[in-house]
Amino acid sequence: MTEQQLIAFFQDLHRHPELGNEEVRTTKKVREALTEAGIEILDPGTATGLIAVIRGGPGRVIGLRADMDALPVQEETGLAYESCVPGKMHACGHDFHTACMLGAALAIKERENELSGTVKIVFQPAEEISNGGYQMAHSGLLNDVQEFYAGHTYPAFPAGTLGIKEGPVMAAPDAFTIRIRGRGAHAGNPHLGVDPIPAAAALVLSAQSIISRTKNAFEPAVLSITHLQAGNTWNVVPEEALLEGTVRTLHEDLRGQIHARLTAMADAVAQAHGCTAETEWQIGPPPVINDAALCQAARQVALSMGFQVDRQADTMGGEDFSEYLNLAPGVFIRVGTGGGIPNHHPQFTVDPAALAPAARFFAELALNRARS
């Protein structure tokens, strides 16, 4: 595939975004391109997604990973190749990731005679809903992989810059739902009921003290309450108040500690107001922690190819690439794609000029690490 063909492949995916676990067309397009190049495909047994494998001489097993899903966002870029599906958009650049790792797979296949070892290229579904990585990592097809690498679009860096940083680079994104139950009443006679709204309001304010007062200030954590709902009119004390939000942490100990504290605080604050609380946790993937030695190796390959290498800016966003890092160490790399508009925004764009160089980088990195 020429550089122009790879860009056309990316633009075609951009035009046809598919949400998590629905990436049927995207999987088919990737399968066709791999098959045409004579690349072996392993079936992970999932509805969408696949794993390509290129086997060379004796050596190590390296994993490359692309995610393929889009977001329920209405695109507002005005690009010639903008989404033709209303309400769906590749607003996180997973179309770029898919094309990039396809380009890497084709480049490795072309250089098969240089390959000492094996490269497995994972095209995973459903990153945005945090279950595609788990599905692929538990498929049994990746247990022999010794190192994993993934790239992610990064609008703050221009094309030609890669962000490589050791240690934690993405948070564990956990969600919670708290229901505070009181007893409904006429708003003119609140003493005949138990109002859950003051309890919910008190909990919103006190919850931040978990972050500001109970953890080491050198350990990052975020607690955001993002959804607050109670009642539906002005003259009725409601039965129940609902709070939803997210906790973001970089270390397992603190993660468990904040969960326990918030659950206990919800119980105690509710009780202080004569209510009860029920807290449910939806546990997300682990934090992404980049291996220091492999970061050094990736940095060397990037510099040798003329890339600028920057330390990526930290974020408490989540990424299910961490599911693979439960199997083997690896590195999550920011790929400069310019534009400056943040991921998940309706005007998010990537610079197509970043695509072919990124594909060559991941091919070179895999070839280099397989023979190391």
Interface residues with Ni ion (CB under 5 A)?
Answer: 92
Minimal distance, residue 92 CB to Ni ion, in Å: 3
DSSP state, 91? -
Helices 252-272 and 196-213 sit at what angle, rounded to 10 degrees?
A: 150
Cβ-contact 106, 360 below 8 angstroms: no
Considering the complex, state which of residue 92 and residue 359 has its C-beta at the smaller distance from Ni ion: 92
Minimal distance, residue 317 CB to Ni ion, in Å: 8
Distances, alpha carbon 260 to alpha carbons 16, 33, 150, 173, 243, in Å:
43, 48, 33, 16, 16
Considering the complex, state which of residue 92 and residue 325 has its C-beta at the smaller distance from Ni ion: 92
Considering the complex, state which of residue 1 and residue 162 has its C-beta at the smaller distance from Ni ion: 162
Considering the complex, state which of residue 115 and residue 331 has its C-beta at the smaller distance from Ni ion: 331
Minimal distance, residue 16 CB to Ni ion, in Å: 18
- Dihedral-angle region of residue 46 (phi above 0 means left; psi in -120 to 50 means alpha; beta otherwise): beta
Minimal distance, residue 156 CB to Ni ion, in Å: 14
Q: In degrees, to the nearest 5, what angle opens at C-alpha 371 toward C-alphas 368 and 372? A: 80
In angstroms, rounded to a whole number, what is the distance separating the alpha carbons of residues 148 and 331? 7
Minimal distance, residue 109 CB to Ni ion, in Å: 26
Find the residue with minimal CB distance to Ni ion.
Answer: 92
In angstroms, rounded to a whole number, what is the distance separating the alpha carbons of residues 358 and 346? 24
Considering the complex, state which of residue 198 and residue 286 has its C-beta at the smaller distance from Ni ion: 286
In angstroms, rounded to a whole number, what is the distance separating the alpha carbons of residues 237 and 231? 7
Minimal distance, residue 127 CB to Ni ion, in Å: 6
Q: Locate tokens 């708290």: which residue?
A: 178
Q: Locate tokens 């397992």: which residue?
A: 252
Considering the complex, state which of residue 92 and residue 366 has its C-beta at the smaller distance from Ni ion: 92
